[in-house]
Structure 1
Amino acid sequence: MFEQLINKLQDPKQTYITLETTPKHDADFIPVIDTIEKLGIAEKVDGFSTTDNPLAKLKFNAIIAAMLLQQRFDKPVLATMSMRDRNKIALQSDLLGANGIDVRAILALTGDPAKISDQPAAKGVFESDSTMLLDIIKCFNAGIDYAGREFGIKPRPVYPFAVSNAFAKNPKTLLKKFTKKLEHGALGIITQPVFDTQNALELLEHFEEAKKMSGNRKGTLILGIFPITRLRTAQFLASHVPGIHVPKNWIDTLYDAHAKGEKEEEKRGLALSRELFEAIKSIHPKIHMMTANRFSLAKELLTP
C-alpha cells in the first residue's frame, strides 16, 4: 500500500490527498476511526496521518493510532514522530516497533516546546532536529542502525516525510529549509496551511529550486489545506501562528459574515475553503488536509 501512495505522490498527473487525524486525550482511538468510517471519508482520500502529542499535550500514541487506521481502512498512514520526546535510542526502537506492525510512512517533526505542555515540569529531549530522524530512516533503509550496526532481520522500507512553514518574510528561509530536508532524504514535505494560490505558486517555485540544489529529484511538495469557517480562527492564525499567511480578503469576508450570524459565517468560510481547495488541486494536486478532527468539513470539501 505504501508503494502505491508514493507512486501517486510522485506522479504529477495523479491526485494525492491525505487527511490529518489527531488522537485525543483518551485511552481509545477507535471512536475517531468510527467517525471517519461513518462519514465515508476513507473512500475519498489516499491516506491519513496521525499527530504526535501536538502542542506538547498528552494524547493517544501516534504509531498505534496509525496501525489502527491502517487495519480499519487498508490505507497507508503517516505516523508523526517528534524529536521533542525521544533520544536516538527511543527513535530507533519506536521505528523498529512501527516497522514490525507495518507502520512505515513516518512524518519527522522537531516538535513544539515542552514548556507549553499540559504535563507539569515536562522536559524536551531534542537531541537534534527532525533531520536526525530522516538520517536514521536512511540507515534503516540500508539495513543498519544509526551507529552502523547491521540488523539481523532487516527493516522493511521506511518512507520519510517532513514539514515546512508555508510563509516567510524572507523567501530564502523557506528555500533553505526545503533544501535541508530534501538533502536528508524526505520524499514528501508537507507545508503548513496555505490560503491563496499566489502563496502556493511561490512555494512550488522555491521547492523546485531546492530540488535542484539538494539533488533530491524525487522529493514532492504537499500543500497543507485548513478549512476556516470562523473569524476567530482566521484572526488567531493570522496573528499568532508563525509561518502562515491568512490573506486580508479572508479576514474581511469572515468579518462581514460574522456580523450576519454564525450560519452565514460558516457558509462563507466554507465557500472560501472550497474555492481554495479546488484552485490548489488544479495547480498542484498534492494536498494534506487538516481539520482538527472536524471530519465533516473534510467531507464537505471532498464531495463534489
Structure 2
Amino acid sequence: MFERLISKLHEPKTSYITLETTPRHDADFLSVVDTIEKLGIADRVDGFSTTDNPLAKLKFNAIIAAMQLQQRFGKPVLATMSMRDRNKIALQSDLLGANGIDVRAILALTGDPAKISDQPAAKGVFESDSSMLLDIIKCFNAGIDYAGREFGIKPKPIYPFAVSNAFAKNPKTLLKKFVKKLDHGALGIITQPVFDKENLLKLLELFEEAKEISGKKEGVLIVGLFPVTKLKTAQFLASHVPGIHVPKSWIDRLYEAHKKSEKEEHKHGLALSREIFESVKTIHPKIHLMTANRFTLAKKLLEG
C-alpha cells in the first residue's frame, strides 16, 4: 500500500490526499477510527497521518494509532515522530518497532518546545532537528543503524516525509529549508496551511528552485489545507502562528458574516475553504488536509 501512495504522489496530475488525525488525551484511539469509518471518509482519501503530542501536550501514541488506522482501512498512514521527545537511541528503537508492525511512512518533525507542555517541568531532548531523523531513515533503508552497524534482519523500506512553513517574509528562508529537507531525503514536504492561490504559486516556484539546487527531482510539495469556519480561528492564525499567511480578504469576509450570525459565519468560512481546496486540486492536487479531528467538516470538503 505504501508503494501505491508514493506512486500517486509522483504522478503530476493525479489526486493525492491525506487526512491528519490527532490522537486524544485518552488510553484509546479506536473511537477516532470509528468516527472516520462511520462518516465514510476513508474511501475519499489516499491515506492518513497521526500527530505526535502536538504543542507538547500528552496524547495517545502516534505509531500505535497509525497501526490501528492501517488495520481498519488498509490505507497507509504517516506516523509523526518528534525530535523533542527522543534521543537517537529511542528514535531508532521506535523506527524498528514501527517497521515490525508495518508503520513505514514517517513524518519527521522537530517538535514544539517542551516549555509549553501540559506536563510539569517537561524537558525537550532535541539532539538535533528533524534532519537527523531523515538521516537515520536513510541508514535504515541501507540496512544499517545510525552508527553504521548492520541489522541481522533488515528493515522493510521506510518512506520519509517532512514539514515546512507555508509563508515567510523572506522567501529565501523557505527555499533554504526546502533544499535542506530534500538533501536529507524527504520524499514529500507538507506545508503549513495555505489560504490563497498566490501563496500556493509562490511555494511551487520556490520548491522547483529547491529541486534544481538539491538535484533531488523526486521530491514533491504537499499542500497543507486547514478549513477555517470561524473569524476567531482566522484571526488567531493570522496573529499568532508563524509560517502562515491568512489573507485580509478572509478576515474581512468572516468579520462581515460574523456580524450577521454564527450560521452565516460558518457558511462563508466553508465557502472560502472550498475555494482554496478546489484551487489546489486544479493547480497541484497533492493535499494534506488538517481539520483538528473535525471529520464532519473534512467530509464536506472531500465531497465537494
Normalised by the length of structure 2, the TM-score is: 1.00
Distance 2:13 2:268 in 1: 31
Distance 2:168 2:113 in 1: 20
Q: How does 1:1-304 map to 2 (within 5 A)?
A: 1-304=1-304
Q: How many residues align?
A: 304
Aligned residue type for 1:211: K
- Provide the secondary structure at the position in 2 that maps to 1:263: helix
Distance 2:127 2:275 in 1: 42
Aligned residue type for 2:262: E
- Provide the secondary structure at the position in 2 that maps to 1:23: coil
Distance 1:30 1:266 in 2: 29
- Provide the secondary structure at the position in 1 that maps to 2:288: strand
Distance 1:235 1:121 in 2: 31
Distance 2:214 2:140 in 1: 21
**What displacement does 1:22 show?**
0.1
- Provide the secondary structure at the position in 1 that maps to 2:146: coil
Distance 1:218 1:31 in 2: 37
Aligned residue type for 1:161: F
- Provide the secondary structure at the position in 2 that maps to 1:7: helix
Give yes or no for contact 2:13–2:284 (8 Å, CA) kept in 1.
no
**What displacement does 1:277 show?**
0.3
**What displacement does 1:230 show?**
0.1
**What displacement does 1:282 show?**
0.2
Gaps of 5+ in 2: none
Distance 2:131 2:215 in 1: 16
Distance 2:10 2:85 in 1: 31
Distance 2:174 2:183 in 1: 14
> Which stretches of structure 1, 4 residues or more, deviate above 4 A after TM superposition?
none
Distance 1:184 1:217 in 2: 13
**What displacement does 1:115 show?**
0.1
Aligned-pair identity in percent equals: 83
Aligned residue type for 2:211: K
Distance 1:60 1:216 in 2: 35
Q: What are the superposed Cα offsets for residues 211-270 of structure 1, whole Å, 9 maximum, x if unpaired? A: 111111100000000000000000000000000000000000000000011100000000
**What displacement does 1:19 show?**
0.2
**What displacement does 1:66 show?**
0.1
- Provide the secondary structure at the position in 2 that maps to 1:154: coil
- Provide the secondary structure at the position in 1 that maps to 2:189: strand
Distance 1:131 1:140 in 2: 14
Q: What are the superposed Cα offsets for residues 149-203 of structure 1, whole Å, 9 maximum, x if unpaired? A: 0000000000000000000000000000000000000000000000001000000
Distance 2:235 2:185 in 1: 35
Aligned residue type for 1:225: L
Distance 2:14 2:100 in 1: 30
Distance 1:276 1:191 in 2: 14
**What displacement does 1:97 show?**
0.1
Aligned residue type for 1:177: K
- Provide the secondary structure at the position in 2 that maps to 1:19: strand
